[in-house]
Amino acid sequence: MSDRYGEFVQSSLGKKVAKNLGLPLPVTLDRFEAGEPLVRGSVLVGRADGDDKNISASVARILADLHAEVYVNSSDDIKDALADAGIEAKANTGGDDKFKALVFDASNISNADQLKEVYAFFHSEARRVEQSGRVVIVGRPPENITDIEASLAQRALEGFVKSVGKEFKRGITAQLVYVEEGAEQNLDSTLRFFTSARSAYVSGQVVRISKGNEVEVDWTQPLGGKTMLVTGASRGIGEAISRVLAREGAHVICLDLPQQQADLQNVASQISGSVLTVDITSEDAGKEIAEAAQKRGGLDAVIHNAGITRDKTLAKMDESKWDTVMDINLGSVARLNSYLLENDVLNDDARIVCVSSISGIAGNMGQTNYATSKAGVIGLVDATAPQLDSNAKGMTINAVAPGFIETQMTAAIPFAIRESGRRMNSMSQGGIPVDVAETIAWLASPAAGGLNGNTVRVCGQSLLGA
């Protein structure tokens, strides 16, 4: 479904009209393109004063790997970490330079007063972030800190980051990454994702990185040699997920309903994947997936994307609408996970990624069935993550919660509700399926071993449930 208003405001007349009437002004978001550098411009890095230099060392190593053009403020002692990583950082003179990304190591902030360092770093740069720029603050998980002053200071960063996301506009995103002590080596995939155009429609998110297995990857094909199954792959978000996973090197088993065979075949053949037609609610779905997976040496990731809506207000909702939505969106996902785990269909370091929805976080009129099922998906992730932690096979489970994504599902929403869903977020526009797909590819990567139990919203920082 095309966003006619979004297209109109790209014209000079449209821009003028929107400005004069105080209407939202969505910009064209940068999106990943093969051959483009991951970070498309200079990066200003900084660090709050203190003794813990571990996060800075990781940030420096990752930026060196990316061959990023790095700037630093003259008084900042992060220069040493950058030099150790072989980066000759340029001095930020505060002149006309613009930055594509601002990365700040806040791990040393240990009381409310010291939060002033975050203010100072970002205050002077707030107007110098380029369109589709990236703000990333890295801290320590407050729940792991026993000192009250230090814990509250780390927790406070969340309010700062979410406000920056709402304030900076122009397609600029802001994220907070909490890295557990000792998990600094697992920062790579997340920092790469959040500083790149791949995270175009993800903003205001808080992600936790724990120790997990460190797996070396070839960053040009991070999913190379992996077999990944995507449910609901014949169209919409599932099709985009399949294409992105294949682009990153995976062999994708594309699963959908038998009646979707033609479209499914079309997607699979374009990405050299394979086809599996099965209804995920059927009794032998687990067995059929296992058979398909075993032909390829097991699964390295399963992406539970298939889902439906059957909207009605509760009083008007017949039982079948409740039952079908619950079974497809939640019941089958839980059953399949149990089957795949119990029958060793998932390889070591396998990734499970579930597609939830911001309806499951915020609730939605006419969607008691859908919102219940999607909140249940988050519950499934929360409950499964610690079990995977303790089974010592390096597996992880995470969820993405898309907001308004332009697909057949959202095209069916009545005009007024559709238009408000599109605009009520920091990007003033809907996302597109590839935005969800890129986020899933990050979570499905072997390099994402430190990410377990996260729910990441892909909603342009929607106001719903925020």
Give the residue numbers marked as catalytic. 370
What's the maximum distance between 2 C-alpha atoms anywhere in the chain? 66
405 binds ligand NAD (CB under 6 A): yes
DSSP E strands in 285-395: the ranges are 299-304, 346-355
Closest-CA residue to 449 (of 400, 404, 389): 389
Closest-CA residue to 47 (of 115, 105, 116, 117): 105
Rounded to a whole number of angstroms, the minimum distance from the CB of residue 335 to ligand NAD is: 12
201 binds ligand NAD (CB under 6 A): no
Segment lying near ligand NAD (by CB under 6 A), choices 17-25, 53-61, 214-222, 232-240: 232-240
Rounded to a whole number of angstroms, the minimum distance from the CB of residue 373 to ligand NAD is: 8
Number of neighbours of residue 1 by Cβ within 10 angstroms? 13
419 binds ligand NAD (CB under 6 A): no
Segment lying near ligand NAD (by CB under 6 A), choices 28-36, 172-180, 211-219, 400-408: 400-408
**Number of helices followed by number of strands (H, E) in the chain:** 17, 14
453 Cβ partners below 8 Å, 6+ apart? 208, 381, 382, 385, 386, 396, 397, 398
User: Residue from 355, 375, 397, 441 that binds ligand NAD (CB under 6 A)?
Assistant: 355
Query: What is the rounded distance in angstroms from the CA atom of residue 154 to the CA atom of residue 143?
Result: 9
Interaction mask 240-259, ligand NAD, x per CB under 6 A? ----------------xx--
Segment lying near ligand NAD (by CB under 6 A), choices 77-85, 99-107, 138-146, 303-311: 303-311
User: Residue from 234, 364, 428, 455 that binds ligand NAD (CB under 6 A)?
Assistant: 234
328 binds ligand NAD (CB under 6 A): yes
306 binds ligand NAD (CB under 6 A): yes
The order of strands in the sheet holding 90-91 is 90-91, 70-72, 43-47, 99-105, 129-139, 173-179, 205-209
Rounded to a whole number of angstroms, the minimum distance from the CB of residue 413 to ligand NAD is: 9
User: Residue from 54, 410, 428, 455 that binds ligand NAD (CB under 6 A)?
Assistant: 410
- Binding-residue total with ligand NAD (CB under 6 A): 27
Q: Which residues share a beta bridge with 276?
A: 255
Q: Which two tokens stand for residue 174?
A: 């802001």
Residues lying near ligand NAD in the complex (CB under 6 A): 231-232, 234-238, 256-257, 260, 279-281, 305-308, 328, 355, 357, 402, 404-405, 407-410
